[in-house]
């Protein structure tokens, strides 16, 4: 295991805890609000994260990338999105904590990857979507600075050898938003990462 992926299950849980805090702040009338992910309202964004956790569990249990894509938009929230999310996090963390899971080759939709790299992608996705959710429901948007620094420092390893990455403008962007351009030098590390991930942290409209 490379240094980049040390404590990756711990980082996944840390990222998920941040998402959970934001999720618990969603008010009843906000589920239909638009999010920075243009195709998703708040409920669809949360479902994407919960379904993603469950699909990663399926992969580590021997599932295929084709099955992953087929299940990608299936509702996983039911009538209790918070409980659905917390259960998905516990299940995913347990699955990747199983001996050998982090070294196991998974049939990820973007190609064969080791479990540790797949979970790093999952952790990054959850972190960025925490900001998306916070922006959509007007709550605190500051991400865990340690996670932001880790993602920023290891983007190359996290997305190594994948045919599509969130920071490359020449790929299809079926899975990740296209990066934005930013010429400012005085932006925070979080804002710089958000721009790389296709977000506009300076636009506050819904």
- Residue 187: per-residue pLDDT: 85
d(CA 72, CA 22) in angstroms, rounded, equals: 22
pLDDT of 203 higher than 70: yes
Give backbone dihedrals phi and psi of 177, rounded to 5 degrees, phi first. -65, 150
Query: What share of the chain in percent tops pLDDT 70?
Result: 87
User: Over the chain, what is the mean pLDDT?
Assistant: 90
pLDDT per position as a tens digit, 174-188: 445 555 555 556 789
State pTM to two decimals.
0.90
Contact present, 53 and 15 (Cβ < 8 Å):
no
pLDDT of 70 higher than 90: yes
Contact present, 180 and 195 (Cβ < 8 Å):
yes
| Structure confidence at residue 173 as a pLDDT band (50, 70, 90) | very low
Higher pLDDT, 143 or 1: 143
pLDDT per position as a tens digit, 77-132: 999 999 999 999 999 999 999 999 999 999 999 899 999 999 999 999 999 999 99
- Residue 3: per-residue pLDDT: 82
Higher pLDDT, 167 or 151: 151
pLDDT per position as a tens digit, 144-161: 999 999 999 999 999 999
| Structure confidence at residue 55 as a pLDDT band (50, 70, 90) | very high
Give backbone dihedrals phi and psi of 91, rounded to 5 degrees, phi first. -65, -40
> Alpha helices of 72-114 — where are they, by DSSP H?
81-97
pLDDT of 41 higher than 50: yes
Is the CA virtual torsion 76, 105, 129, 197 positive or negative?
negative
């Amino acid at each position: 295991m490379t240094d980049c992926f040390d404590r990756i299950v711990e980082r996944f849980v840390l990222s998920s805890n941040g998402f959970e805090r934001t999720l618990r702040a969603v008010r009843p009338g906000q589920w239909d609000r638009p999010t920075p992910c243009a195709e998703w309202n708040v409920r669809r964004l949360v479902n994407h994260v919960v379904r993603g956790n469950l699909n990663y569990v399926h992969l580590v249990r021997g599932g295929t990338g084709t099955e992953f894509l087929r299940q990608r938009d299936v509702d996983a929230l039911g009538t209790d999105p918070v409980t659905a999310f917390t259960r998905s996090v516990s299940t995913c963390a347990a699955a990747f904590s199983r001996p050998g899971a982090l070294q196991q080759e998974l049939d990820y939709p973007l190609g064969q990857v080791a479990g540790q790299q797949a979970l790093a992608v999952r952790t990054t996705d959850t972190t960025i979507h925490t900001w998306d959710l916070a922006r959509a429901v007007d709550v605190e948007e500051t991400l865990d600075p340690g996670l932001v620094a880790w993602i920023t420092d290891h983007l190359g390893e996290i997305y190594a050898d994948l045919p599509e990455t969130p920071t490359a403008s020449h790929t299809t962007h079926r899975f990740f938003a296209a990066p934005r351009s930013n010429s400012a030098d005085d932006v925070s590390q979080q804002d710089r990462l958000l721009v790389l991930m296709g977000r506009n942290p300076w636009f506050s409209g819904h």
